[in-house]
Amino acid sequence: MNATPRQTSDEAKQIVVDIVDRSTAAIGGEWTVRSGPAVQACALPSGGSGAAFAYIIDRAAGGDPSADVAILKALWEREGIATEVYKNSGSDPVGGMRGTGGPTTSIDLYADPKGYTVEGLSVCTEGDAAEMQRNGE
């Protein structure tokens, strides 16, 4: 395993924004940024501390959750992201999909007919997350 991150912090930030934005564009609707891209601490494969970026976007009600999951499954798998479709338990189960790998650490779609969320987390890169936060990241 290569212990050196493949992406710089700036690249990781742009890549997670790009895959989240392409995901939301693929299923359409009006999306609002809830958070980010925000830097957070993470563990590097070498055991040191690094920086990753989380980006979360929400959409109001609308859409067809099953169809939208299928659209993003195809998009994410083309990007090398392993996908897992799920439905939570309960009287009114909400579906979605988790993705791992590819250009991100993880990406998730929460496909509730009452509103959707797409949340991406970049790979962990070299960098001091606390210092980056102090500098406005």
pTM comes to: 0.87
pLDDT digit string, tens, across residues 31-69: 999 998 999 999 988 888 899 999 999 998 778 888 999
- DSSP secondary structure of 39-55: EEEEE-TTSSEEEEEEE
Q: Select the more confidently predicted residue: 91 or 26.
A: 26
Range from 4-18, 21-35, 107-121 carrying the lowest mean pLDDT: 4-18
Contact call for residues 4 and 50 (beta carbons, < 8 A)? no
Output the CA angle 6-20-22, nearest 5 degrees: 105
Verify cis geometry, omega within 30 degrees of 0, for the bond prior to 37.
yes
Residues 5 and 104: their CA atoms lie apart, in Å, by: 12
